[in-house]
Amino acid sequence: MTKTIVTGGAGFIGSHTCVELLAAGLEPVLVDDLRNSDERVLRGLAEITGRQPVLHRIDCGDADALDRVFAAERPGSVIHFAADKAVGESVQHPVKYYHNNIGSLVTLLRVMDTHRVKDLVFSSSCTVYGNSGQLPVTEESATGEAASPYGYTKVVCERLLRDASAADASLRAVLLRYFNPVGAHPSALIGELPIGVPNNLVPFITQAAAGLRDKLTVFGNDYHTRDGSCIRDYIHVVDLAKAHVLALQWIAKQKAPVCEVFNLGTGEGNTVLEAVRTFEEVSGVKVPYVIGPRRAGDVPAMYADTAKSLKVLGWRTQLTLADALRDAWRWQLALAK
Ligand code: NAD
Ligand code: WQD
């Protein structure tokens, strides 16, 4: 079986991707120092897949340690999830973000080069589009105006990959721009593990519904949207995970060097208040909320044009926002057990 190094494989999106890789007959090898995840995920993965995943608990910015992993595992490809991802924290600690997010990619590319591994899928984000005037955003929409240091690390990493691939005709890279990943595996055995007070909407909703938070604050209801709250493209993490398998399979078919970008969203936007109402419908639980002021840096609306992912990768989402919120709630209930 071809091995795929999955950096950040114990994290939210990485763990769901490991499930889909195994289902597709690929063998994930996790590289994660668990700085933002937990060994519990390994038990969840084993239970879902019936296989005990291999984890190398190292910092993937540590070149010697990563080199040893490549030498031992001899992978055919890499999916690079490992990064710090909290937008607010990145404003407080920009150096930490530039160091980890850019440094780990630089190290990874050097180690891949040493071991002649050429196929790479990289986790990027819709944050690279900044406040795009044009909706839905296509892969050709302008980038570079990211509002936070976190967002800018993704802009830099994308540029780094384009430069590296222009200089190395054998590098085959796919850059996946995720919109708003939410939900959990339907088994409720793996999911998101926010540490402390969640910044993101869906974990906050589930924690508020579970009584762990006093109430949700809806950040603004005076935007020019259908109900005044912001619009986002919420994508089920299982749909997102499946796109990584298709991306690896697509890369493997390429004869020429590639560095290709894809949007991964549903193509539809939902408001914050719609997400709250949908959650209440699928869970049968009321979400205590108040309307608060706008949050600094929020764009009024963002959703993906997904035509390219469908046409080139043959990928389309199969799950709905209701599915994602139902699975997020199941996961929240499982965490409480
Ligand atoms: P996550 O924090 O759940 O997972 C990241 C994993 O990487 C964690 O397990 C963490 O321990 C690990 N990690 C971080 N730095 C590391 C390092 N130097 N060495 C080894 N392990 C390291 O995050 P996620 O939500 O699964 O995000 C995965 C990727 O997707 C990230 O690159 C993130 O920027 C990107 N992304 C996430 C979202 C989102 O909303 N979740 C949206 C767009 C893009
Ligand atoms: C969604 C909506 C909030 C919390 C972030 C990153 C982005 C990407 C995805 C990584 C917004 C509103 C939220 C709350 C609220 N991540 N909200 N009350 O900001 O769209 O995107 O995650 O790449 O880069 O910025 O996601 O979940 O924080 O917010 O009203 O307590 O929910 O204003 O409209 P966001 P989010």
Q: For 99-145, how does the pLDDT look when each residue is reduced to its tens digit (9 = 90+)?
A: 999 999 999 999 999 999 999 999 999 999 988 778 999 999 998 77
* Residue 180, ligand 2, Cβ within 6 A: yes
State the catalytic residues: 150
Instruction: Compute the distance from residue 36 Cα to the ligand 1 centre, in Å.
Output: 8
Strands (E), 85-212: 119-125, 172-178, 180-182
Integer Cα distance of 25 and 20 in angstroms: 9
**Ligand 2 site-directed mutation target among 126, 176, 200, most atoms within 8 Å of CB:** 200
Can you tell me which atom of ligand 1 is nearest the CA of 150? 34
DSSP state of 223: S
Question: Could you tell me if residue 8 is left (phi over 0), alpha (psi between -120 and 50 degrees) or otherwise beta?
Answer: left
Per-residue pLDDT tens digits for 303-331? 999 999 999 999 999 999 999 999 999 99
On the question of pLDDT at 73 being above 90, the answer is yes
Q: Which tokens is 20 given?
A: 């889909």
Q: Would the pLDDT of 291 be above 90?
A: yes
pTM of this structure: 0.98
Q: What is the mean pLDDT of residues 53-82?
A: 98
* 251: nearest Cα among 262, 263, 239: 262
The atom number, within ligand 2, closest to the CA of 87 reads 25
Which of 12, 80, 108, 235 maximizes ligand 1 atoms within 8 Å of its Cβ, making it the mutation to test the pocket? 12
Predicted local distance difference test score (pLDDT) of residue 6: 98
